[in-house]
């Protein structure tokens, strides 16, 4: 996995990513001319040009590409129930509590944040096994890259990314790093880059 991580980091340095523009027309949001909400009020998960990732969005790809989808994998010796379990777990300063969160499913780990006595937004610090990490530093970006390369060791997740032919967008979540541990832009950048990477470096 270490070699694959190195290849991905180099690949990402040269990967050109331009986030798609969301436009509002007559009170409705569109991306590249396609509506984000259908006539029944449901979020559109896929159209001819893009996949809008969201666990509750319509469409198989939209759900399966979500960090909430239960792809289990090993990260630094820890068994994670999903990618989301990691992002919720690192908000916990206490090692034992963090390890407990890693064992929760994605949806459950989202709710368990109310059990935390540490608010990372106050100091910008997240934690991996008791060691603090600056949310806005390179160390955090490196950790996230390692997370996703660990996740694609799950053959289901890797194959899914290989099968994706459309651009990936994500219209949920915050845009500013101060508000979230993974912004919409960071998510789109990571997944679009990762899907191209697994197509080139087939395992």
Domains of the chain from N-terminus onward: 2-200 (1.10.357)
User: Residue 203 has what pLDDT?
Assistant: 60
User: Residue 195 has what pLDDT?
Assistant: 97
Helices (H) and strands (E) in the chain, counts: 9, 9
Left if phi > 0, otherwise alpha if psi is -120 to 50, otherwise beta: which for 99? alpha
90: Cβ–Cβ under 8 A, 6 or more apart, which residues? 98, 126, 127, 128, 133, 181
Q: Are 127 and 139 in contact (CB under 8 A)?
A: no
SS3 sequence of 52-98: ECCCCCECHHHHHCCCCCCCCEEECCEEECCHHHHHHHCCCCCHHHH
User: Residue 58 has what pLDDT?
Assistant: 85
User: Residue 128 has what pLDDT?
Assistant: 97
What are the 10-residue block averages of pLDDT along the chain, 203 residues in total? Answer: 94 92 90 91 92 91 95 95 94 94 77 83 96 97 98 97 96 91 96 96 71
DSSP reduced 3-state for 129: coil
């Amino acid at each position: 996995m270490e070699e694959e991580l190195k290849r991905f980091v180099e690949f990402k340095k040269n990967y050109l990513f331009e986030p798609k523009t969301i436009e509002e027309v007559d009170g409705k949001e569109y991306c590249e001319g396609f509506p984000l909400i259908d006539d029944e009020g449901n979020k559109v998960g896929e159209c001819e040009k893009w996949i809008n990732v969201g666990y509750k969005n319509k469409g198989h790809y939209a759900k399966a590409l979500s960090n909430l989808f239960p792809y289990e994998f090993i990260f630094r010796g820890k068994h994670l129930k999903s990618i989301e379990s990691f992002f919720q777990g690192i908000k916990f300063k206490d090692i034992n509590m963090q390890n407990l969160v890693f064992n929760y499913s994605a949806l459950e780990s989202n709710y368990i944040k109310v059990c935390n006595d540490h608010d990372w937004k106050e100091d910008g610090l997240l934690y991996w096994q008791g060691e603090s990490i600056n949310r806005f530093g390179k160390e955090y970006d490196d950790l996230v890259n390692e997370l996703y390369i660990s996740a694609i060791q799950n053959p289901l997740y890797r194959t899914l990314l290989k099968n994706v032919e459309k651009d990936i967008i994500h219209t949920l979540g915050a845009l500013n790093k101060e508000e979230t541990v993974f912004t919409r832009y960071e998510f789109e950048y990571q997944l679009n880059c990762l899907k191209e990477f697994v197509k080139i470096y087939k395992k």
